[in-house]
Chain A
Amino acid sequence: MTLIIISILFSIINCVPQDDKYESLRKNMVEQQIENRGITNQPTLDAMKKVPRHKFVPPNSIERAYNDRPLPIGYGQTISQPYIVAYMTAAINLKSGQKVLEIGTGSGYQAAVLSEIVDEVYTIEIITELYNSSNKRLDKLKCENVFCRNSDGYFGWEEFAPFDAIVVTAAAEYIPPSLIKQLKDGGKMIIPVGSPYLTQMLVLVEKKGEEIFTTSLLPVRFVPFTRGN
């Protein structure tokens, strides 16, 4: 009997505060790291508050999931700093009913955030191991409007083109021509440029009829990840 009571008490202690804990960490993350830095796009803020970031990081990083920094996810890749995810999402000003292509699924976190705002998210990952784990994770979290593919993002996903927006999560030396083609008229693409060790400039590409314009936005600070944090 004592054992049953203890186990019930333990499960109560273990369960409720854990959910509370992550929810409050998430709320704190949005307020301190995102809103405080000037991001006001409501759909982005709502999505960031909702997606459980701690479920997208490796088990040994769960406690650091809501810290203001990127975290390693293996294969030389990282889950971006929360602020970068929010900045990129807000910059392309998404709305419900839209279709987005993401190049570089990684952990699947950015795709999950996008899926909270738009109707369809198509995401491509070149590293098979990452594709497998993110695909499984997104399924488990019931992100039913996210469609994953294991291939080279350079070619985009022609079958479902054109897209209202494209999010490229890895810095690239040039913008692949296929991605420009697969962007709708009036569509927006966001792509990082620069050193992953220092600062990254995010570049916004806008397609307006025959014309294409780019804007180099202000640099986003990078904090090197540490084992201790």
Chain B
Amino acid sequence: MKKSEIHPVKLSFSVALLSVSLIAYQIVLIQILSIVQWYHFAYMIISVAMLGFGAAGTALSLFKKKLLENSEIVLPVLIVVSSLLMAVSVSLSQTEVFYFDSYKLFADLNHLWKLAATYLFFLLPFFVGALAIGLVFVKNVESVGVFYFANMVGSGIGGIAVVFMMWFFLPEKLPAVLATITFFSGILVVPKQIRSSFTIIITLAVAALTFIYINSPKLNFSEYKSLSKALNLPETEVIKSESSPYGLLQILSSGHIRFAPGLSITYPNQILASNAAFNNGNWLGTLSSTTMDSLSYFKYSTEYLPYVISQRKNVLVLDAGTGRHVKQALLQSAESITAVEPNKALIELLTKEYSNKVDSIYNKSTVKIKNVYPRTYLLSSHSKYDLIILPIIDAFGGTSGMYALQEQYLLTENAFNEMFSKLNGNGVICFSTWIDYPYKNSLKILSTVVEMLNKRELENAEQHIASIKNWNTITFMVKQKTFTENEIESIRIFCKEMKFDPLILPNLKTNEADYYNKLQDKSIYSMINQILHSQEEREKLYSDYQFNIKPATDDKPYFSQFLQWKSIRQLAEIFGNKTVAFFEVGFILLYITFFQIIIIAVVLLIVPLFKIGFKGNKKLRTLLYFSGLGLGYMFIEIILIQRFTLYFGNMIYAAAAVVSLMLISSGFGSLISQKIKAKPNRIIVIVFLIIIPLIFYAIFLSQFLKLTIIFSLPVKIIFTTLLVAPPAFLMGMPFPIGLRRLTAESHSSEGGQIPWAWGINGLFSVLGAVIAIIIAVDLGFVWVMIFAIGSYLIVLISNLTYK
């Protein structure tokens, strides 16, 4: 076998560049699919697309000889093809022929074929790109550690670089930008003797990439997204689009959008129309461009409840968004308002260009903006407040479980505990929810608060909660102290004037909750009583009710995950088979994704065995070793992203930092591993050294991060590096050592297993991402870490079988 004639440094650089663009492309696709569809559809599609890595392993196993024989030509061609595929995939997926709508997947067969086409479009660039990387590995297996280093470092840089690119390019432009990077990676490995004939290809490719960049596809939003529905209104148009890692922020100008949740039917005036903001096509809020008087309706809404019983001087607004609650607090003469909003792009817009469109609320001296996640602020701040207000829970009309798998750290028992600790003597937490049916949100949020109060061992926990409802909204108020007689009376008077009903109030009279706004299904009243009554009653309700209404916790932060397997049949009977999927699309999709990957992975793993043979227990060892590495690495990556999101107060940056830090550290581990002999006992020591910090993570990581969250950003970065880099450094070693081990046995059948092993690692990495979420939803994040330890134990055990 001829060695590569391209200089190893040049080749490494090419691998690194290709890795930069492949990982960046993956993130861009998630972003684009989250914009046109929803995050979980994006996740499902990308998981399948990432199987391209595994498929490349299979292809290498099958065609290794031919590919190696012609590698000098094949390598640049593969990279250039990958580049062109990157450039055209998104455009193709957005054409009328192939565009699929996720909501129609469960109802229209045509959309299944379109989805299959989308899978293929997005799988191909990864497949071809990964085939190029795999070819480099297989051809240079003795120095695989160096190229694996280039691959890991490139991926790490790609993860960070794309986050910054998102500030400068609209999402639809990014595929062409990344395709250009890939293209240059290909140019680097064109052999001298054919460079002249490559000139034409280069010229054509540059022309094609430029054309695609200029004519980037128009992103077609699902017709079911809030933005699409708003755009159906006359004289409504997008007047501003801004890209950032937080998503695609769009401002709509409209003379017909009027937003007044919880409004009383006694309100005598008109609600003024206003512009509105959307992020990734999802509703963010209105931008009221008129004077503060436009909020006069506020006194007629259920959200006015906390002001009914007392004035609120210090107000904390969590997830402040376009500032509706900030405005309300200003209207009520609050002296100090802290607005916590993580979306930097939105805050930039509302404090600068659109400042006057929102009455400059975020520029007022009484308003302090905190650009972090609300939980991070709660954990790191020591201030006390008269009122802590949360955004309205769920979207109007429900999201059909679209966010079932989205971590919502603001709605966990732990979050409410922190909020409660930040209340002044008469302070209250206030939040509202739409009345959904079957009843879910209101029951779950109530059980979360009640469990929190009980754990604080407050006597008469139910005396700390008040709640009122109108025809479609419930507003809750949780008070530090118990409600006084005067306060209870004020709430009753307010309800009578506004035609609201008190839903939870000390000494509530019979039928008082169902007077002005009657519910035909009155079971909600008895379920509320059960939640308030006792731990025993709550437990009974949790187990009897068809939906999961147990409180969400930081370990299982899935507030919107209501569906349970046991309830599916019952729901199908009530609402019909076709409707069940819509109860919680996110939950259903997770399992669909899982089974899709399993089926594809099994096929991709078995096919190479026809070539390299089924027999020999060493195959089982290879399977265990490389699958354990793939699963373990991914489990740890996911749990670290989860833990550090709260720590840094920003998921995008936390994810980019953790992933990049891990990959770069692993890259260096891989480089150093070149000096370690590929012997089983060495691997056992390394894996053992990996497991030790993982046990530490499982037991102490959360507590350590909570203790150090108050430190400044540079100090937190140092802590993060110290926590993540050492184990990641070690985690980069077993893979190249394992490949070299297989090569060392090249005279036996195992030498042919290298591409197969590489494929196994790729397939199980994708599978690991999905399994991690399933474990987190069902058992909690702590168990993901336990499974990670288990995966590395499998790697350890597989090495014990070496003689």
Chain B residue nearest in CB terms to A189: B265
Q: How far is the CB of B56 from chain A (nearest CB, A)?
A: 36
Contacts of B470 on A, CB cut-off 8 Å? 214
Contact A212 B499, CB 8 Å, known A177-B268, A177-B269, A221-B579: yes
> Beta-carbon contacts of B195-214 to A below 8 Å, as 1s and 0s?
00000000000000000000
Contact A223 B435, CB 8 Å, known A173-B259, A197-B582, A218-B520: no
B-binding segment of A22-30, A112-120, A141-149, A198-206 = A198-206
A222 touches B579 (CB 8 A): yes
A221 touches B521 (CB 8 A): no
B708 close to chain A: CB less than 8 A: no
Contact A223 B579, CB 8 Å, known A173-B472, A174-B263: yes
A154 touches B258 (CB 8 A): yes
Contacts of B396 on A, CB cut-off 8 Å? 171, 173
Chain A residue nearest in CB terms to B396: A173
Q: How far is the CB of A198 from chain B (nearest CB, A)?
A: 5
Contact with B108, one of A127, A217, A223, A226 (Cβ below 8 angstroms): A226
Chain A residue nearest in CB terms to B501: A214
Chain B residue nearest in CB terms to A179: B265
B398 touches A195 (CB 8 A): yes
B256 close to chain A: CB less than 8 A: yes
A128 touches B520 (CB 8 A): no
A-binding segment of B226-234, B360-368, B374-382, B590-598 = B226-234
Q: How far is the CA of A216 from the CA of B520 in the complex (A)?
A: 6
Interface residues of B in 100-117 (CB under 8 A from A): 103-104, 106-110
B578 touches A223 (CB 8 A): yes
Q: How far is the CA of A180 from the CA of B106 in the complex (A)?
A: 39
A219 touches B437 (CB 8 A): yes
A126 touches B233 (CB 8 A): yes
Contacts of B65 on A, CB cut-off 8 Å? none
Q: How far is the CB of A153 from chain B (nearest CB, A)?
A: 10
B518 touches A215 (CB 8 A): yes
Chain B residue nearest in CB terms to A174: B263
Q: How far is the CA of A225 from the CA of B576 in the complex (A)?
A: 14
Chain A residue nearest in CB terms to B111: A227
Contacts of B614 on A, CB cut-off 8 Å? none
Chain B residue nearest in CB terms to A207: B265
Interface centre among B104, B518, B583 (most CB of A within 10 A): B518
Q: How far is the CA of A223 from the CA of B103 in the complex (A)?
A: 12
Q: How far is the CB of B111 from chain A (nearest CB, A)?
A: 9
Size band of the interface chain B makes with A: 35 or more
Contact with B397, one of A174, A195, A223 (Cβ below 8 angstroms): A195
B107 touches A226 (CB 8 A): yes
Contacts of A178 on B, CB cut-off 8 Å? 270
Q: How far is the CA of A194 from the CA of B436 in the complex (A)?
A: 7
B719 close to chain A: CB less than 8 A: no
Contact with A218, one of B266, B516, B521 (Cβ below 8 angstroms): B521
> Beta-carbon contacts of B232-251 to A below 8 Å, as 1s and 0s?
11100000000000000000
B519 touches A216 (CB 8 A): yes
A197 touches B400 (CB 8 A): yes
A228 close to chain B: CB less than 8 A: yes
Contact with B107, one of A173, A203, A218, A224 (Cβ below 8 angstroms): A224
B307 close to chain A: CB less than 8 A: no
B400 touches A195 (CB 8 A): yes
Chain A residue nearest in CB terms to B269: A177
Q: How far is the CA of A228 from the CA of B224 in the complex (A)?
A: 19
Q: How far is the CA of A68 from the CA of B642 in the complex (A)?
A: 45
Contact A216 B517, CB 8 Å, known A173-B260, A197-B582: yes
> Beta-carbon contacts of A69-81 to B below 8 Å, as 1s and 0s?
0000001110000
Q: How far is the CB of A154 from chain B (nearest CB, A)?
A: 7
Contacts of A186 on B, CB cut-off 8 Å? none
Q: How far is the CA of A8 from the CA of B580 in the complex (A)?
A: 51
> Beta-carbon contacts of A177-197 to B below 8 Å, as 1s and 0s?
110100000000000011111
Contact with B575, one of A177, A195, A221, A228 (Cβ below 8 angstroms): A221
B672 close to chain A: CB less than 8 A: no
Chain A residue nearest in CB terms to B575: A221
Contact A214 B110, CB 8 Å, known A77-B232, A127-B234, A174-B263: no
Contact A215 B256, CB 8 Å, known A127-B232, A193-B397: no
B398 touches A212 (CB 8 A): no
Q: How far is the CB of B8 from chain A (nearest CB, A)?
A: 55
Interface residues of A in 81-137 (CB under 8 A from B): 126-128
B516 touches A152 (CB 8 A): no
A9 close to chain B: CB less than 8 A: no
Q: How far is the CA of A127 from the CA of B567 in the complex (A)?
A: 41
Q: How far is the CA of A214 from the CA of B397 in the complex (A)?
A: 18
Q: How far is the CA of A214 from the CA of B473 in the complex (A)?
A: 13
Contacts of B398 on A, CB cut-off 8 Å? 194-195, 198
Contacts of A171 on B, CB cut-off 8 Å? 396-397
10 more A-B contacts (CB under 8 A) besides A154-B256, A175-B265, A197-B103? Answer: A76-B232, A173-B261, A177-B267, A177-B269, A194-B437, A195-B397, A217-B520, A221-B575, A221-B579, A224-B106
- 24 example contacts (A-B, Cβ-Cβ < 8 A) are as follows A75-B232, A76-B223, A127-B234, A128-B234, A173-B259, A173-B472, A174-B263, A180-B265, A195-B397, A196-B397, A197-B582, A198-B583, A205-B471, A212-B499, A214-B265, A214-B470, A214-B471, A214-B518, A216-B437, A218-B520, A218-B521, A224-B103, A224-B582, A226-B104
Top 8 A-B residue pairs of the complex, sorted by shortest distance between their CB atoms = A174-B263, A214-B471, A195-B397, A195-B398, A226-B107, A224-B107, A215-B518, A76-B232
